[in-house]
Every structure is written in C-alpha cells, then in structure tokens.
Amino acid sequence: MEKHRIIALKKGDILRERGDYIVISGYLICKLSRQLIHFVNTGDFITTDMTFANDIFHYEARSNVQLILVEDGSIREAREKREILQKKTMMCLARRMDLFLEPVGRRFSMFVYQAGAEVGMVQDNTCQLPPILTHQEMAKYIGCTREYLCGLRRKLIKTGKMVDGKGWILLDWDEWEREAYLFYNLPEVLEAEKSLDRQV
Amino acid sequence: MEKHRIIALKKGDILRERGDYIVISGYLICKLSRQLIHFVNTGDFITTDMTFANDIFHYEARSNVQLILVEDGSIREAREKREILQKKTMMCLARRMDLFLEPVGRRFSMFVYQAGAEVGMVQDNTCQLPPILTHQEMAKYIGCTREYLCGLRRKLIKTGKMVDGKGWILLDWDEWEREAYLFYNLPEVLEAEKSLDRQV
C-alpha cells in the first residue's frame, strides 16, 4: 500500500512547501500579493510548483485545511493537471482585473457569484457559501467599504436573490449563473477572453 | 551599416508582431485583458516575446507610436532586458491588483503617480502627464465613475497638488514621490512585495 503525506494548515496559514496537492478538507484562496484571485474547494488540485507564472501566486488557508501530497502520479498526468490549473488561474486573474473596470454593484455580484461557483454548496437551485470571508474582507477584495457592501447585500435580499439572515445563501442559482453567463459573453468581454485563450 | 525595421502604430492599435522593440516615439500601455498594467514611454524596451507569463500581456498604442525592432543585440542582452521587463511587469501587476484593496481616493492618487513616474515629464519639481487617457478612461482603470474622478481631481487642485486647467500638471513632485514611497513601504505592502521579489 502506498503512503501519502498529509499537510495540515490552520486558517491564515500560507502553503509554502513545494509540491502538487489535493485538498481533502477545508477551503483556501489563491492570492497574488494581497489580492484574492480565486477560491479553492475540497477536492481541488493545487500546486506550488507554478513555474508558469514565476510563482507569483500563493495559497492561503481560510479554514482548517488538510492536503494530500500527490507523489505517485505519472509525470504526464501532473503536467496536464498543472496546465489546466494554469489556464484557470490566468483566466481568474484576468477576470478579477477586468472586474475593476465595472461599477461596484457588478463587482460585488460577480464576486459573490465567483465564490458560489468555486466553493458554494448547490442544492435545489440554492447556493450556500461557506463562512470563509468576513464582510470586511469581502469589501476589501471588491474595493469598497464594508458599509457599502452591506448596502449591496441588503439590495440582494430585497430583490429575492439572497436569504435574509446569517451567512450567504443565494436563491435562484440558475438566474445567478445566467447573469454571469450573459456578462462574460458581452462582446468586449468575450473578445478579451478569447485573446487570452489563444495565448495561454 | 545595419538596417533596422521601424514599426508604426496608430492610437488604439495593438502590437501583434513578435519581437523585441525600443519605443522611438509615442506612448503605449501594457494591458492584461481589458485592464491597464503600466505605461510605456519613448525610449523604453518592450517585447511581445513574453514566454514568462504565457503572453497574457499586450501593448496598446495611446498615440502615434514608432518602434524599432531590435535584432542585432546579443541573445544574452535580450534575455537580460526581458528579465528586467518581466520583473517590472509582475511588480506592476501585483501593485495594480493590490491597489483595489485601497480606498478609491488612494487608488486615484497612486494611479496618477504611476502615470507620472512612468511617462510624466519632470521639470522644476513639476510633472506633466501626456494626454494619452481621457477622464473616462482613467475612471475606468481606477474603478470609479467619471464624476467621482472629477471630484478627486478638484480636491488635488484645491490642496495645491495640481494645476487648475487643461491636462494634468502635478505640483510638488517630490511630495508625490514621498507619499508613494511611504505607501509602498507600509509593513503589509512591503511584506507582499518582498515575497513577490523572492519569487520573480
């Protein structure tokens, strides 16, 4: 039987050891410098061996996290997984950058959608976000004040897109997905992403 | 005598041809998808051969531009120039990303400072920005409305940091530099940049 090394991280820890991993419990965020690029879910493959981008990205645990070090995969399989991750990371980076061209309301809703799509639990057309970011942190990553974020949140509740109460429970998830699809298929957005796609 | 190829671009053109270039007249911006990363001045070296970052960056002319294709440099020299550019581009990318963690007032003033530092004409402690972005475009890249940007501009004029009138003439440039220095040497900013520096 093969032995696998398990790495344990606490909330706030940065994954520093070199290697390819699969998340077996908990949540992380992928960051560039101080900014959030994308969320990482249990089951996701991540690597700190990101030669593709000069290792400018790093992973921060947002809960207790357990990772399994993947050592027994074929080199080809690891390379393919890294390539997929690379493509995803670059796409997320460009999308995050581009979002700051949008009004704060859209920045907010697309950020909430991103969290839902990447780490949300979808059931019966409802998507529940795990409690891994405070309102203050969300506001910081979106580029607005906490007060403004709370106002935007209230608007979502008023329009029936979110449950009123603790946490983040998004209603009518199909509609969230439809809106994100429409946004990412606007001609100028599509054009920018297409050129990215050709290049990555 | 060696012959050099000259490439001419018009405002809005994207540099598509592969190669290493020196800008002999005009201004460009380096973009990731739809977002501005940094400004490029006459005299600057740029390359479309950015294997380092999977070519996710591209250059857009912001005036009539003339570029000279650098073909005769030693391979080692070209590699060194590319490495310096890579380091600069990654630093600018991280700084641009990080700026969206800051309040809009600071985002604005650091963006204006970046433009001044990268393409401004400094004379007698005054820095004049070339007219390469409209107010609308600046607002877009900062992530605020044009009206809000105009308000922030008026504030700069009121506090004596900018000349009232057409264009962007920044007064007391030493003070702009001091403020930027202080910001980029805040403990959390320094820490993030240091880790970037280790990695690039």
Which residues from chain A sit within 8 angstroms of residue B97, using beta carbons?
Answer: 32-35, 96-97
C-alpha distance from A94 to closest chain B C-alpha (Å): 6
Which residues from chain A sit within 8 angstroms of residue B195, using beta carbons?
Answer: 33, 58
* A199–B52 CB contact, under 8 Å: no
A129, A167 contact by CB (below 8 A): yes
Distance CA(B36)–CA(A10), nearest Å, equals: 36
Q: What is the pLDDT of residue A2?
A: 60
Closest CA to B64 of B24, B10, B119: B10
* B143–A35 CB contact, under 8 Å: no
Q: What is the pLDDT of residue B146?
A: 95
Q: DSSP states of A115-149 as a string?
A: HHHHH-EEETTEEEE-S-S-HHHHHHHHTS-HHHH
Q: Which has more pLDDT, A55 or B138?
A: B138
Across the interface, of A53, A95, A100, the residue whose CB is closest to B100 is A100
Which residues from chain B sit within 8 angstroms of residue A196, using beta carbons?
Answer: 33, 56
Across the interface, of A33, A94, A107, the residue whose CB is closest to B33 is A94
In the three-class reduction of DSSP (H, G, I as helix; E, B as strand; rest coil), residue B105 is classed as: helix
Quick one: tokens of B189?
């900013």
Distance of CA A133 to the CA centre of its chain: 12
B161, B176 contact by CB (below 8 A): yes
In the three-class reduction of DSSP (H, G, I as helix; E, B as strand; rest coil), residue A32 is classed as: strand
Q: CA torsion angle for A158, A162, A167, A168 (degrees, to 10)?
A: -140
The pLDDT tens digits for B113-122 are: 999 999 999 9
Which residues from chain A sit within 8 angstroms of residue B104, using beta carbons?
Answer: 143
Distance CA(A153)–CA(B181), nearest Å, equals: 36
Q: Which has more pLDDT, B28 or A70?
A: B28
φ/ψ bin of A161: left (φ > 0), alpha (ψ from -120 to 50), beta (otherwise): alpha
Residue A52 has pLDDT above 60, yes or no: no
C-alpha distance from B123 to closest chain A C-alpha (Å): 33
C-alpha distance from A29 to closest chain B C-alpha (Å): 15
A70, A20 contact by CB (below 8 A): yes
Q: Cβ–Cβ contacts within 10 Å for residue A199, how many?
A: 14
Rounded percentage of chain A residues whose pLDDT exceeds 90: 66
Mean of the per-residue pLDDT values of chain B: 89
Residue B154 has pLDDT above 70, yes or no: yes
CA diameter of chain B: 55
Closest CA to B108 of B169, B173, B152, B154: B152
Distance CA(B55)–CA(B45), nearest Å, equals: 16
Residue A147 has pLDDT above 60, yes or no: yes
pLDDT band at residue A86, thresholds of 50, 70 and 90? Answer: confident
A96 touches chain B (CB under 8 A): yes
B20, B72 contact by CB (below 8 A): no
The pLDDT tens digits for B4-17 are: 789 999 999 999 88
Mean pLDDT value across residues B158-166: 94
pLDDT band at residue A200, thresholds of 50, 70 and 90? Answer: very low
Q: What is the pLDDT of residue B51?
A: 57
* A55–B199 CB contact, under 8 Å: yes
The torsion angles phi and psi of B174, rounded to 5 degrees, stand at: -55, -40
A54 touches chain B (CB under 8 A): yes
Number of residue pairs across A and B with CB atoms under 8 Å? 98
Across the interface, of B56, B143, B188, the residue whose CB is closest to A199 is B56
A164-169: which pairs have CB atoms within 8 A and are 24 or more residues apart?
A: A167/A128, A167/A129, A167/A131, A168/A112, A168/A115, A168/A128, A168/A129, A169/A126, A169/A127, A169/A128, A169/A129
Mutate to test the interface with B, among A97, A138, A141, A145 (most CBs of B within 10 A): A97
In the three-class reduction of DSSP (H, G, I as helix; E, B as strand; rest coil), residue A154 is classed as: helix
Q: Which has more pLDDT, A196 or A23?
A: A23
Distance CA(B117)–CA(B108), nearest Å, equals: 14
Q: What is the pLDDT of residue B73?
A: 66
Distance CA(B74)–CA(B127), nearest Å, equals: 36
- Euclidean distance between the first and final Cα of chain B, in Å? 38
The pLDDT tens digits for B82-106 are: 888 888 888 899 999 999 999 999 9
Q: What is the pLDDT of residue A81?
A: 87
Enumerate domains of chain A plus CATH numbers: 6-99 (2.60.120.10), 104-199 (1.10.10.10)
Mean pLDDT value across residues A97-108: 92
Distance CA(B22)–CA(B66), nearest Å, equals: 9
Q: Cβ–Cβ contacts within 10 Å for residue A139, how many?
A: 21
Distance CA(A62)–CA(A9), nearest Å, equals: 9
Residue B190 has pLDDT above 80, yes or no: no
